[in-house]
Structures are given as structure tokens and as C-alpha cells.
Chains A and B, each alone.
Chain A
């Protein structure tokens, strides 16, 4: 039994088969890559797993429990957190508050408690703030905690998105193109960060990435999508010389 089990997932948008017969299993400590040319259905897969879209057929199981068809916030609470391809931070909130929102599910006090500043409210407010600062410290952005999220440099915004996702205490973390727009130096930092997150938080990580060097160097296994079909699956070395993958990226060989 694996942590996240995806069985024969398909989704059609009208007549378009965005994803067909996709299967995957991910365990705690795994680091799996999802690659493919533009429009292959990678983000669509993430959107189905996190409940943004409903699958046409197939199932998503988390700890042997079906989560397909549930609302995004429920799926997050069950243990799947994500980042977005085009960063979606709460731009008018501070860096610290962005992470604090991630703790929303563990709030036990009511609105009346917040109005009267009940002891429970004060206790939770303080502990969330402390935990959020710890996370920011871990991600090296604690010195910007009181800045607006929108004022952070690009690389730090990506880091903040990961920190915010981890605040929801996930079992599985989905990273949608975490290295997009980063320079080589930032990418090196990111590789170290992803490995560190896997060790420290004891979670399974599944990432979409276009940077082949990054994917090949950190992933244990890679799935390749093209036009919604899974064309290859296996360890990086095998994927690199897979004829179908080369064809999908470079076109058919002309002899």
C-alpha cells in the first residue's frame, strides 16, 4: 500500500482528452518527477489530484482512502499541499501572514473568541506565529517576515510558496515548476532545499519541472506525459535514452 495511489485517471474537457489512463504510486520519502512538452497535461494532473477538476474516470487514493471528487480545501486537509506554476501568493498579506494562513485548519477558536481575545485565541495566535517564523527561518526568508509577499524577490516568492504549503502539514507535496524563472545559482539552492524538505518533513514529493538537469539529478523516478498519455516511466537514466521521450521532445527522427 502506498501513500498516494493514482489509478487509471482520465479527464476529458469536451472532446479533448487532457489526460488518459494515468497511474502512479508515491510513498513517503519518494521524489518523483512529472515531465512532458507544453500542453501534455502535467498541471491538469495536479489539478485533478488537488480537487480543482473532477476526473472523468479513475481514482485518487491517499492512505487507501478515495479523495477524488472532494473539494480542494478538504484534500489539502487530508494531506496534499501544492505550489502553483504561476506563483499564487496572498500578495497583500505579509510574508509571515501568508504562512499563518497555512495553519488555518488547526484553528480551534471561534470568531467570538477572536473578538473577545479568549485565552485559546491568544495561545493559538502566538503558537501559529512562532511556527510560521520557524518555517521562514528554515527557508531563509525570516528577515523579510514583515514585508508584503508581493515585494519579495522572485526566488524568495517560490520559497515562500513552498513554506506556506508545508504549513498545512502535508504528507504529499506537489511542486508545479518550482525552478521556473530561476537562475542557475537559485536552481542549485532549490535542489538543496527540495532534498532538505524531503528529509526534514518526511513527506513524498512530486514535481513538475522543465529543467531536465534538475529533474534528472534529484528524482528517483520520472513519468513522461505527452498529449495526456503516459509515454514512459522509470528512473532518470532510463528516461534519458527512451526513444519515445526523445521523439516527444525533439520530433520524429528523419532517416
Chain B
């Protein structure tokens, strides 16, 4: 008998472990990233470290977009817009206020990241509400427009009150606070959150909307609420990625958040398999490494890269993992109460 969203690996037996044990192990995993960070900083080549950071940021972006595009089925092309909102929120604040070093500084940095996420989630609400009347291609175009509007607003804003925004020349000299620990802690939290939301009984409404919106509404699912929620949650994590982006690169150029960036993220989601969270992680990793690895081809690099994408879509249109996950816990068969 086939299993629900079959896993690539044989399903692991579902552990009957209390939730707090799971949550604690996730916290421990995040804490364990700290010594790994020191290890990597002293041993890893700065180039590879840079690629690793980019992989982390792309994973957050791809997984958060997957909630909107793949799991809820609302095709959005505005994710780079959300990335820009988060990046500029954090960049503007951190350039203006100099954070102290030490624990207080770290806590304030964390607050800034969360604030950037919340501001972006709010922009996700703003875009979500009007766009909900649209479906398919029309939604894609509206979200594309939103991304462009964000861009144009940034290009034409030199400052907001005392805050420097940079306008068309970009925002420069943002303090570099992000490192492996911060980025990968965000990766863990983003992946765990989206996974738990998508596969909880509440979250099944997202997939129900994707499969048949009319039937979902007829079954009492408040489709508007869930679609706006998908946009807001997806935007929140894109904003978090933005804050980390700003504080890792230190310079923000509005042109780098154009629709090309949105397409890059969409390609990751589609290539990994729409609806597959592990697929997004895999594709974000591959698509970050591939262009770097192809550097030896010099000017032919992007041609080969594009050809690989075309062949991929020809031979595996459902994406690397389809809508399956790389591994899943096999739910124990629930006996009925009879």
C-alpha cells in the first residue's frame, strides 16, 4: 500500500517522544551551531564560507516561498521584494544605531532580525489581501508588480527622516553581524516551523486550498485567512533572510532585489519539487553551488547552467523530489475507537 507523500528513504518509525523533548533537541542543535561556527571560521577557506552562507540564505528563501507557491499553490513572483523589505529594515536600523558588543549587542541584533521579519510579514499582509482575489497568472503578475514597486520606492528614497536609505546608489557600510551561527540558526527555525505548519492538521488546509479551493471553502476552511497567513508567514522568513543578508554582505544595492532574484528563488522551489520542503533545501543548495562550481567555464558558465535547468525540466518536470519529502516519520496507524 502506498504511503502519503511517500518519502525517498524508507519512512522512519514515528517516535512516541513528548513534544518538549523534540523542542529541546532543536534548541540543542541550534546551540551546537555555535562551536561549529568557530571551527569553520578558523579552518574554512573564506570563499567556501561565503558560499556556505549563501546556501543558508537561499534555503530560508526557498523554503519560505515553498509555503506560498508549492504548499498553498499561490504562485508568487514577489519574494525578492520581501527579501528587500527585510534587508532594508535591518540595514537602515543597524546603520543608524550602533549596537554595543557583547550579549546586549547580540540580543539587540536578534531583536532587529525579528523586527525586520515582522515588518516584512506586515508587507506580506498588505500584498496578500488585495492579491487574494486573483488566481494563477494574474496573481503572479500582481506579485511581480509588488516586487518592482518595492524596488522603485527604494531607488527613489534617499532618506526617511534621520535614517539613511541610500536611494539608487545603495546602502553601504552596514555593520557585518551575521555569521554561520545566525544564518543556520535561522535555517533550522525556518525549516522546522514551515514543516510543522505544513504537516499539522491545521496546516492541511493550505494543501487543501492548493488541491481544490472551492471544495476547501465548502468544508468550512476560511480560504482568505489561510492564503493571507501563507503570505505573511512566507514573508516573515524572507524578511529574516533579508536582515541576515544585509548584515552579512554589508552593502545593499536595490538592483539586486529585482525580479531576477525572485525568479532565482522560484526556480529553486520548482526544481526541488513544489510542495516538498526537503526538495527546496536540496535545490537551494545545488543551485547555489552549481554556478560557483561552473566558474571554470568562464563566459559559458551561465549558458551551461541554463541548459542544465532546461534539461532538468524536460526530464523531471515535477522537480527533484516531486511533492515527496526526503524522509518522513511514518505515522502510527491510528486505530479507530471502535
Contact = CB atoms under 8 A, between A and B. Distances in A.
Interface of A: 50, 52, 71-73, 76-77, 81-82, 84, 88-94, 96-97, 100-105, 107, 109, 111, 114-119, 121-122, 124-126, 128-130, 133-134, 136-137, 142, 144-148, 151, 164-165, 167-168
A232 B216 CA distance: 34
A130 B3 CA distance: 18
B111 interface: no
Contacts of A164: 219
A167 B335 CA distance: 17
A100 B211 contact: no
Contacts of A137: 336, 338
Closest 8 CB pairs of A and B: A117-B19, A94-B4, A88-B215, A114-B200, A90-B211, A76-B220, A105-B220, A72-B217
Contacts of A50: 218
A129 B334 contact: yes
Contact of B204 (A97, A122, A124): A97
A114 B229 CA distance: 14
B218 A90 contact: no
Contact of A111 (B5, B202, B323, B331): B202
Contact of A73 (B5, B207, B223, B334): B223
Contacts of B218: 50, 72-73, 76, 81-82, 84, 88
A117 B19 CA distance: 6
Size band of the B side of the interface?
35 or more
A142 B334 CA distance: 10
B23 A92 contact: no
Contacts of B5: 92, 94
7 contacts: A73-B217, A89-B212, A92-B210, A101-B221, A111-B203, A137-B336, A165-B219
A89 B205 contact: no
A147 B207 contact: no
B121 to A, nearest CB: 12
B201 interface: yes
B197 interface: yes
Interface string B1-15: 111110000000000
